[in-house]
Amino acid sequence: MITRANVQDAKQVYEIIRKHAAKSVVLPRPLASIYEHIREFFVYRIKDRILGIVALHIVWEDMAEVRSLVVDSRHRKKGIGRKLIQQTLEEAAKLNVPNVFALTREEAFFKKAGFKRITKDKLPQKVWNDCINCPLFPDCDEVPVIFNLKKQKLKKS
C-alpha cells in the first residue's frame, strides 16, 4: 500500500537511500535532508516494512521532479516502482503541476511509464543549481525524461 511518509519513516527511508546510493542507483541524501523533505516522500509498505520509496519535489509552478525512486531489490519486477511513479503523477495533477521530470539511469523504465526523453537544456535553472552541487557534476550519466500531464493521459490506478 502506498502512503505518504511520516517522520517515523525517515530513518528507514534514509537507510534505503544510503544502501542504494552505495550501489550508484540513486544520489545520496543526508538524514537531515530526509527529515526536511519528508512531506515529499511516498512509501510502499507491507505491514511495517517499506519496500519502495519515491519523492516528488516541486521545482517551479509548472515543474516537479521525481527523486529517490528505489524499490527493494527482492521486490523488483512486481509493479511497485510503476505504482510509485503513478502516485507522483497523480499528486502532480492534484497540485496542477503540468510537467514531471526525472534524471535517471533507468530510461526504459520511465519510458514504459509514459515519460519521454528530453535534453538537459530543457530543464529549469533550479535543476542546474542542484546539479552543480552533485557529486556526479560535470560528468553526469543520468538521462532527463519528462511526463507532460496536459498532453499525455494519466493512467488510472
pLDDT digits (tens, 9 = 90+) for 37-70: 999 999 999 988 999 999 999 999 999 999 999 9
Residues 63 and 147 sit within 8 Å (Cβ to Cβ):
no
pLDDT above 60 for 124: yes
With cut-offs at 50, 70 and 90, classify the pLDDT of residue 140.
confident
Residue 72, Cβ density class (10 Å: 0-12 exposed, 13-18 middle, ≥19 buried) = middle
CATH 3.50.50.60: does it fit domain 2-148? no
Domain extent listing, the chain: 2-148
Beta bridge partners of 4: 42
Residue type, 38: I
Which of 138, 139, 155 has its CA nearest to residue 147?
A: 155
**What does the angle CA 73 – CA 13 – CA 4 come to, to the nearest 5 degrees?**
105
